[in-house]
Chain A
Amino acid sequence: MSAAWPGLRRVLRIATRRSAERDADSEIDFHLESRTRALMTLGHDATEARAMAEREFGDVAETRLMLTGVVRRRQQRVHRADWWEALGQDLTVAARALRRTPGMTAMIVALLVLGVGANAATFAVADELFLRAPAGVTDPSTLTRLYLRTNDWWDGAKVARPTFEYAAYEAIKSAVGEHASLAAYMPPDSADVTIAGTTRTLRVSYATANYFPLLGVRVALGRAFTADENRMGAGSPVAVISWATWQSVFGGESTVLGKRLSVAGELYTVIGVTAEGFSGPDLDRTELWLPIATYPGGTVWNTPWYQFWYADAFVRVLARVAPNVTRPTLTAIASTAYHSGQLEQDSGNRDTVGTVLGGPLLEARGPTMSAAEGAITSRLVGVTIVVLLVACANVANLLLLRGLRRRRDVAIRLTLGISPGRLIRQFLLESFLLAGLASVPVIVIATWGGELLRTMVLPSNALERRSAQLASDRRFDCSRAPDGRDRGNRSSAARASNRSCGCVHQRRARRKRGLFRATRRFARRTGGPLSGPPCRCRILRLQPAIGPKHRCGLRHRSYRLWYGSLPQPNRSLPPSRQRDAGDRTRCRASRSVVATAQRSALRIGRPGQCRADGSGMDGARVSAGRPFGQRWNGRHNDADFQR
Chain B
Amino acid sequence: MKPTDTPLVHGTLDALVLKTLTWGPRHGYAIARWIKDSSDATLVVEERALYFALHRLEDYGWVESEWGQSENNRRAKYYRLTTAGRRQLKAESERLTSYSETLIKLLAMPREVAE
Contacts and interface: CB of A to CB of B under 8 A. Distances in A.
Interface of A: 1, 5, 8-9, 12, 16, 23, 26-28, 30-31, 33-35, 37, 56-60, 63, 66-67, 70-71, 74
A438 to B, nearest CB: 41
Interface in B27-59: 27-29, 32, 46-49, 51-52, 55-56, 58-59
B77 interface: yes
B55 A67 contact: yes
Interface SS majority for chain A:
helix
A57 B46 CA distance: 6
Given A58-B46, A70-B59, A74-B58, A27 B70 contact: no
9 contacts: A30-B77, A31-B32, A31-B47, A33-B74, A58-B47, A63-B51, A63-B52, A67-B51, A70-B56
Contact of B51 (A28, A33, A34): A28
Closest 9 CB pairs of A and B: A58-B48, A63-B48, A34-B29, A57-B47, A31-B29, A70-B55, A27-B77, A30-B76, A58-B46
B66 A12 contact: yes
B58 to A, nearest CB: 7
B61 to A, nearest CB: 11
Contact of B66 (A8, A31, A37): A8
B92 interface: no
B35 to A, nearest CB: 13
Contacts of A5: 64, 66
B23 to A, nearest CB: 15
B6 to A, nearest CB: 17
Nearest to B27: A30
Nearest to B74: A30
B105 interface: no
A226 B15 CA distance: 79
Interface of B: 25, 27-29, 32, 46-49, 51-52, 55-56, 58-59, 64, 66-67, 70, 72, 74-77
B66 A9 contact: yes
A33 B25 CA distance: 20
A57 B48 contact: yes
Contacts of B27: 30-31
A71 to B, nearest CB: 7
Contacts of A71: 55
Nearest to B59: A74
A29 to B, nearest CB: 9
Contact of A9 (B29, B48, B59, B64): B64
Contact of B48 (A23, A34, A59, A70): A59
B29 A30 contact: yes
Nearest to A74: B59
Given A70-B59, A74-B58, A30 B70 contact: yes
B27 to A, nearest CB: 7
A66 B52 contact: yes
A12 B48 CA distance: 24
A313 to B, nearest CB: 78
Given A31-B28, A74-B58, A67 B52 contact: yes
A67 B59 CA distance: 12
Contacts of B55: 67, 70-71, 74
A287 B70 CA distance: 85
A60 B49 CA distance: 11
A263 to B, nearest CB: 72
Contacts of B29: 30-31, 34-35
A58 B49 contact: yes
B48 A26 contact: no
Contacts of A9: 64, 66
Nearest to B71: A34
Nearest to A6: B64
Contact of A12 (B25, B52, B67, B70): B67
Contacts of B25: 1
Contacts of B32: 31
Contacts of B52: 63, 66-67, 70
A566 B27 CA distance: 112
Contacts of B76: 27, 30
